[in-house]
Structure 1
Amino acid sequence: MGDQIGQAVDGKLVYIPFAEFEKVRKAPWSREQRVAVFADMCRLNALYMIARAGSGHIGSSFSSMEIFSWMMLEELELGTIPTEGNDLFFSSKGHDAPGYYAVLMGMGRLEFDLVHKLRKIDGLPGHPDVHTPNIITNTGSLGMGISKAKGMIHANRLAERDARVVVLTGDGELQEGQFWESLVSATNHKLHELIVVIDHNKLQSDTFVKNVSDLGDLDAKLAAFGWRVERCDGNDVAVLAQTLADMKDDPYPKVIIADTVKGKGVSFMEHTSLDSDVDMYRFHSGAPDANSYQKAVGEITDRISAAIADLGGDDIAYDFIVREPAPALPETAQKLIPAYTEALLQQAGKHPNLVALDADLILDTGLIPFRETFPERFIECGIAEQDMVSMAGGLALGGALPIAHSFSCFLTSRPNEQIYNNATEKTKVIYVGSLAGVVPGGPGHSHQAVRDIASLSGIPDMVMVEPCCAAEVAPLLDWCVNEAKGSSYIRLTSIPCDIPFALPEDYEAVQGQGTVLVDGDTVAIVTHGPILTGNAVRAAEQLTEAGISTKVINMPWLNTVDGSWLAQALAGCTALLTLDNHYMDGGLSDAVGRALECDPVVGLKVSRLGVSDVPPSGTNSEVLDAVGLSVEHIAARATALAEVR
């Protein structure tokens, strides 16, 4: 479920042009032979897309490539939208999108030039989205697929449309409770049109499924729900085809456990090349390094050439681009997750009752050092956020100090009821959400946490904080651990951030009070987090040069703003601009507004910028510009505000 955001690969990047796919699709070979070659060609293009984008999921794209290719080329009469009446196919796990896109492009069902635009704002989103041609539902948040498919089948029956619906899931995804909830009614309603294919590649995110939550006798579990269950080699197209044929006329919903290899097709990326005790699988998410990329290209192209030669065909032509090295991060770039790791270890050393819980994101959330240092106080919960949060509630009732970790988008939404339940018990739980805010933009809206503050705003006694730089992480965690009376939520940006400011040397975390980073007396900008605080400081520099004296206030307290402190900080200013790395409804701007209702500043003109619609997928700069939170947008709004009489 992780989404490591790295650097794009530089050097020569190779892909296969569309004309070569057309040749293979028309070749006089058996269906199985064509699909096997086609799938490897798609592997190369998926690898190209990920390398060029600098992020994406190689392992699960490769493990599911034969499933994608056989289903979409040979098995199904595919529709483009659910109301057409044709067969439907989609991936519930969603992070195999590069593989999915590569197959669609190879079939001519997606504009081929998009091969160059994975995770670009004018290209292909990091996870499937219905605004992309031939994508029939949004996925990326795990566990929803079968439920969506059941709804589509019921809609088909109402409209008297006879069509199959095929859903591809991951095996780690089976830890989500909704997967198991969705099985029962499918049997009760005899949804024979439904086929579920489990990409059973044995890994979730960066480690083995069996080491997190072993699935046990999966065949028996699924059969117990009344489903027709078959098992096959999911990377063998002939075997997959026969399995589908054998179960075609069964009157009940069907599930295929497709045993696959994560990273299939590149020897050193295949999970079977790992020892069972290897801690982390390297190729779940993120782009490979340049050397690994070139080695992978060599393996795939050699195998394609050999297969075509054996079939008597002409070797295919390749195309390439040369990518210049990406610019290095500036010396002022800071990473908040390592700062959090260090601060957490310090607190754990002082508090023997502190327990860290993780939801299958130990690498992304910076918890590996904690697990190594305090193994008896680390609990891996898997892809099961509701279970994790209720477990944290039980730990709190038993006298422990639990800290629950996941991506913000999942931690604050899926277990929201469980968080509320914990709050009603008046215990203390700390929730730490990373990947917060609108960037990184590449993964898309399933992973952009822009409603987390609003989601938790109705939780009694919940205090929400967000550090603006690495130096603010430890003081805020210290406050949550040692001063907060109730539960708290720490919101962390995951990407490296260029920080053009510094906190005062005597900085202290005082609830409700911010920090004046840049002084001024015309427009005040109040914001939070490293992305927008950095942009606000840069905008203030431009504004000051233009003759508009601008104050910048970092406000780490997202829902408990001290009105009297803020009113004093705004004294002398004639205008206030608030910035939200979040939807404008329910974010910091609302908290600032509530505070100023109690402590009004006479004559203060107020405006705000924030996310107003579902954010797009794209590079970080593209997304910030699209949602109106770039330096230029901030400066323009502040200028307009200063000019209002």
Structure 2
Amino acid sequence: MGDLIGDVVESELYYVPAREFDRVRQLNAPRPKLVSLYADMARLNALYMIARAGSGHIGSSFSSLDILSHLYLTEMNRDAGDIFFSSKGHDAPALYAVLIAQGVLPEQKLHGLRRLGGLPGHPDIGTPGLVTNTGSLGMGISKAKGMLFANRVTGKGGRVFVLTGDGELQEGQIWESLVSAANHRVGNLTVIVDHNKFQSDFSVERTSSLGDLDAKFRAFGWHVARIDGHDTELLAETFKALEKITDQPKVVIADTVKGKGVSFMEGTSIDSDVEMFRFHSGAPKADEYLRAVEEIEARISSQLAGLHATAVEVVRVDKPVVAPAPAGQVKLFPAYTEALLVEAEKRPELVALDADLALDMGLLPFGEKFPDRYLECGIAEQDMVSQAGGMALRGLLPVVHSFSCFLSTRPNEQIYNNATEDSRIVYVGGLSGVLPAGPGHSHQSVREISALGGIPNLVMVEPCCPEEVAPLLRWCLDYQGPSFLRMISIPYVTSAKLPADYVPQSGRGVTLRSGGDATIVTSGLLMTAEALRAAELLAQRGIAAGVVAHPWLNRADPEFVLDLAARAPVLITLDNHFRIGGQGQHLIAALAGSNPPRMPRCLSLGLEQCPPSGRNDEVLDVVGLDADRIAQRIAEFLGSGTRKL
């Protein structure tokens, strides 16, 4: 489920124009052979999109393309109401490549993966040809059942085909969704499992084995077929046979190869389950990209020669112009990894739990050093959090890890249950906030303060720089209750400097810049950096704005906020989060509840709508949270003479 953020491939790039897919569809050849050819052409285009964007999921896209090509070229009748969607969503580049080839999406979208106004990193219903938002795992079968129920009520026909990942089957909702489909004999539902054997980091078998999948689906009352998911003749035969099954939901367990089509990217090239799969996410290096293009083009040429057809035109695109990464970028997670190891040495009761994100969450060194105190739970956040609750009840100190978008929401009830037991558990959420923007809404965690901030005794914190990570982690581990450590995952440039003697004090922030006209209160690496830049821009306009880093997302010390009110004629809160329910509302509510002698004018800045997918700078600008827009909005507010909360 991880989403490593890579770089744009710095070499010439290649793609197949849509007209060539039209020509291939018209060839006089057996349909399964055309499907194989079509899939390889789409592989070249999916690779192009990922290379140009600098991120995406190659492995999952490549493993699914023979299946997608069969469905769109042979199986589905969209005029009759047939629907396909991918529940896992990681294979979005593959689906986009097919939809562009089919003319559902315009060809120019090929150049806009993970760009503002282009194609989002995970499926979004605003994109033509997509029928639901996915990327948050486990929901697809349930949504398909709902669509078919709606079809029955409204008198519409059509079948629904849903593609799931195999790691996705570790999500509990998958197994909940199977029961009623069988009970209601939903025969027009077909689920295809892209069983490519690998998850974000390691093999499914190592992470959390699925056991006998055939027997499990049959036990739930489903009709099961198991096939080679890259054998296009077998795909055609299997789906033809499934048409006769009308009184059961159907599942096709398609044994596939992650990274299929490029030898060195294929999961089968890995020697053992100890080795990580390198091409789950991100983009290949320039030399890897060119080697992959050569392999795919050679196979396309061979297939065309076997069909006595002329070569496919491949368009060459000049090397993208890539802006160098800004100097001085810092990261939070290396500091977190080091701090966790230090604390684990001192606290033998400390254990770490992970949800298939060990690399992204900086846990590989912990697992190597403390294997008996490390538990990989797979893609099963609810189960992980409740296990942590049991551990805490028996005297351990669990530190629970996942991306914030999943950790704050999927196991929300389990976190609350643990809190009612006064359990001492530290939840660590990565990939927090609006950036990286490329993956899209399913992975932009901008609601965890509102989701968790009201749980009694649960304290949420977020560091503004690497130097604040260790002190905040130590505070959380010492705290006699539940806590949530929120962190962004991308590198970022910041001028934030904490005092040498800095020690976190509950509910109290630290002044990073003084200013008599206004004070910006914020938290986290991203917003603190942008606040400091905004203050510099305001200074150029003659406005003296101070900046306070306040790591406490849902707590504010009454004396501290009263002091803020006394010193600041204007108070601005800045959230890397929805404004409603964010840190700013907690601070302003705490201030109002403290009955200050003079209430400052207040401006609360944060997200007002779901953020879009795009390049980081594009999205920060459009949501109004980059330094330029922040400074502009503050300057306008200071000149307006009105109070806005």
Q: How does 1:229-628 map onto structure 2 within 5 Å?
A: 229-250=224-245, 251-324=247-320, 326-482=322-478, 484-599=479-594, 600=596, 602-628=598-624
The answer as to whether partners of 1:205 and 1:284 remain within 8 angstroms in 2 is yes
1:570: Cα distance to partner?
Answer: 4.5
Does 2:11 match 1:7? no
Structure 2: distance between partners of 1:110 and 1:541: 44
> TM-score under structure 1 normalisation?
0.98
Q: Report matched runs for 1:168-207 at 5 Å.
A: 168-207=163-202
- State the one-letter code of the partner of 2:176: E
Q: Distance in 1 between matches of 2:316 and 2:114?
A: 19
Give the Cα separation in 2 of the matches to 1:170 and 1:338. Answer: 30
Counterparts in 2 of 1:37 and 1:598: CA distance versus 1, 3 Å:
same
Task: Quote how far apart the aligned CAs of 1:439 are.
Answer: 0.7
Taking only the aligned residue pairs, the percentage that are identical comes to 56
Corresponding letter in the other structure for 2:224: V
Cross-structure match for 2:94:
99
Alignment counterpart, residue 110 of structure 2, candidates 115, 123, 144: 115
Contact 2:404 2:448 in 1 (8 A): yes
Superposition deviation, residue 331 in structure 1: 3.5
Distance apart, 1:330 and its partner CA: 3.2
Conserved? CA contact 2:565–2:598, under 8 Å: no
1:17 is the counterpart of 2:17: yes
Equivalent residue, structure 1, for 2:213: 218
1:165 corresponds in structure 2 to: 160
Residue 164 of structure 1: CA displacement?
Answer: 0.7
Deviations 1:80-118 (A, max 9, x none): xxxxx6101000000100000000001111111011000
Equivalent position SS for 1:11: coil
The one-letter code matched in structure 1 to 2:180 is S
SS at match of 2:415: helix
Whole-Å separation in 1 of the counterparts to 2:19 and 2:94: 19
Rounded to whole Å, the distance in 2 between the matches of 1:334 and 1:140 is 28
In structure 2, give the amino acid aligned to 1:298: E
**1:264 counterpart SS class:** coil
Aligned in 2, Cα 1:619/1:601: closer, same or farther, shift over 3 Å? farther
Counterpart position of 2:66: 66
Structure 1 letter corresponding to 2:501 = D
Residues of 2 paired with 1:595 and 1:458: CA distance? 13
Distance 2:321 2:629 in 1: 29
Partner of 1:87: 82
CA contact (8 A) 2:2 2:281 kept: yes
| Maintained 8 Å contact 1:524/1:570 | no
Q: 1:401 & 1:117 partners in 2: Cα distance?
A: 45
Describe the SS at the equivalent of 2:265: coil
Moved over 4 A (4+): none
CA contact (8 A) 1:20 1:316 kept: yes
Distance 1:420 1:5 in 2: 32
CA contact (8 A) 2:170 2:380 kept: yes
CA contact (8 A) 1:332 1:500 kept: no
CA contact (8 A) 1:522 1:548 kept: yes
Using the TM superposition, name which of 488-497 and 601-610 deviates more. 601-610
Query: What's the offset of the Cα at 1:144?
Result: 0.5
Counterpart contact for 1:522–1:572, Cα < 8 Å: no
Please say if residues 401 and 429 of structure 1, whose CA atoms lie closer than 8 Å, have aligned partners that are also in contact: yes
Q: Secondary structure at the match of 2:155?
A: coil
Cα shift at 1:276:
2.1
Residues 15-48 of structure 1 deviation map (CA, whole Å, 9 limit, x = unaligned): 1111111111111112111111110000000001
> In structure 2, the residue corresponding to 1:207 is in which secondary structure?
coil
Query: Matched residues in 1 for 2:526 and 2:515: separation?
Result: 21
In structure 1, what residue type is equivalent to 2:516?
A: D
Structure 1 equivalent of residue 32 of structure 2: 32
Q: Deviations over 1:475-503 (max 9, x none)?
A: 10010112x12110000100001112211
Q: Is the 8 A contact 1:11 1:325 kept in 2?
A: no
Distance, in Å, in 2 between the alignment partners of 1:148 and 1:155 is 11
The one-letter code matched in structure 2 to 1:31 is R
The aligned amino acid for 2:449 is I
The CA RMSD over aligned residues, in Å, is 1.1
How far off is 1:213 after superposition?
Answer: 1.3
What is the rounded CA distance, in whole Å, between the counterparts of 2:321 and 2:348 in structure 1? 46
Q: TM-score, normalised by structure 2?
A: 0.98
Instruction: Give structure 2 stretches of 5+ with no counterpart.
Output: none
TM-fit CA distance, 1:458: 2.2
> Offset of 1:270 from its aligned partner?
0.5
Does residue 42 of structure 1 match 2:42? yes
**Which amino acid letter does the alignment assign opposite residue 54 of structure 1?**
G
Distance in 2, matches of 1:523 and 1:443, equals 35
- How far apart are 1:603 and its partner, in Å? 4.8
3-state SS, counterpart of residue 291 of structure 1 = helix
**1:124 matched to which residue of 2?**
119
Match of 1:82 in 2: none
AA at the equivalent of 1:263: G
CA apart distance, 1:323: 2.6
1:320 Cα deviation (Å)?
2.1
SS across alignment from 2:164: strand
**Residue 324 of structure 1, CA deviation:** 4.3
Is the counterpart of residue 76 in structure 1 residue 76 in structure 2?
yes
- Tell me if the contact between 2:537 and 2:628 (Cα under 8 Å) persists in the aligned partners: no
- The residue type equivalent to 2:337 in the other structure is T
Task: Please state how far the C-alpha of 1:325 moved relative to its aligned partner.
Answer: 5.9
Query: What is the alpha-carbon distance in structure 1 between the residues aligned to residue 599 and residue 507 of structure 2?
Result: 23
Report the AA paired with residue 10 of structure 2: D
Q: Given residue 522 of structure 1, which amino acid in structure 2 is its aligned partner?
A: D
Alpha-carbon contact 2:52-2:320 (below 8 Å) kept: no
* SS state at 2:375 partner: strand
Query: Which of 135, 144, 160 is matched with 1:140 structurally?
Result: 135
Alpha carbons 1:13, 1:323 under 8 Å: kept: yes
Moved more, 432-441 or 319-328: 319-328
Following TM superposition, by how much is the alpha carbon of 1:370 offset from its aligned partner in structure 2, in angstroms? 0.2
Structure 2 CA distance, aligned partners of 1:508 and 1:277?
42
Distance in 2 between the 1:623 and 1:24 partners?
38
Query: Are 1:78 and 1:89, in contact at CA under 8 Å, matched by a contact in 2?
Result: no
